[in-house]
Structure 1
Amino acid sequence: MAGYYKVELDALAQLITQLGESANSMSSAMKQLKDIGPKGSGYAELEQACDDFQDKWGYGIGLIADATGGITEGLSESRKIYEALEDQIAESFKPSGKAGK
């Protein structure tokens, strides 16, 4: 017997939005750290900390942001498919107008 599951389209849409925002935030934060540059903030310790963070985490966060973008695209496509399927199923239960024939 197959298990039962339900796709919550509104919750899926919210997840898609949140993942997209997360990917954008990660990319933006890394760009801002990179843009501070050697003399951008005026505080040597902050500049060094930004450089150190960028060196240690920049590549990995970039990969995470890229993967998150890919997941977001895949979830968006899945949501469209589920939504279309639900619409087709709902349509199949509507009366056809051929009652009594």
Structure 2
Amino acid sequence: MTSLRVDIDQLTRLTRALDSSLLSLRDARRALDHVRADQLGTADLDEACDGFQKRWAHGARELTKRVKTVREGVDRSAAEFAELEEAIRVAFRQAAATHD
């Protein structure tokens, strides 16, 4: 026998954690946007930092997209489980009322 248990409050906490990670990514991207390569030192260091910043920006954008997709899925799952739980609750109430 399979048992499925879903804690909707836990899904809500996960959504908040995902939102927090999106804010952190945004803040990190903004912080790096203000650093110019010519402020850092040698030409080699400037070039390395430019390359890193481009890769970081691309990676952060991709990660942001994926986190948003996961968040949407968690939201959908929580809503569907809550709907299912309510439907089961209503069905039990109706069944109990017909047996009284």
User: Any idea what the Cα deviations from partners look like across 1:31-66, whole Å, max 9, x if unmatched?
Assistant: 221133457xxx635xx5864541332211210111
Match of 1:20 in 2: 19
So what's the TM-score if we normalise by structure 2? 0.75
Match of 2:40 in 1: 44
Decide which structure has greater helix share.
Answer: 2
Distance 1:31 1:15, change over 3 A: same
**CA separation in 2, counterparts of 1:6 and 1:23?**
28
Shift of 1:6: 0.7
Gaps of 5+ in 2: none
**CA separation in 1, counterparts of 2:99 and 2:92?**
13
Distance 1:50 1:7, change over 3 A: farther
Match of 1:90 in 2: 89
The SS at the match of 1:36 is coil
Gaps of 5+ in 1: none
Q: What RMSD over aligned residues (CA atoms) do the two structures have, in Å? A: 2.6
Higher relative contact order (CA 8 A, sep 6+): 2
AA in 2 matched with 1:44: L
Match of 2:54 in 1: 55
Shift of 1:98: 4.2
**CA separation in 2, counterparts of 1:17 and 1:71?**
12
Residue range with higher mean Cα deviation, 78-87 or 18-27 = 18-27
Shift of 1:94: 1.2
Q: Percent identity over the alignment? A: 26
Q: Size of the alignment, in residue pairs? A: 95
**CA separation in 1, counterparts of 2:65 and 2:99?**
54
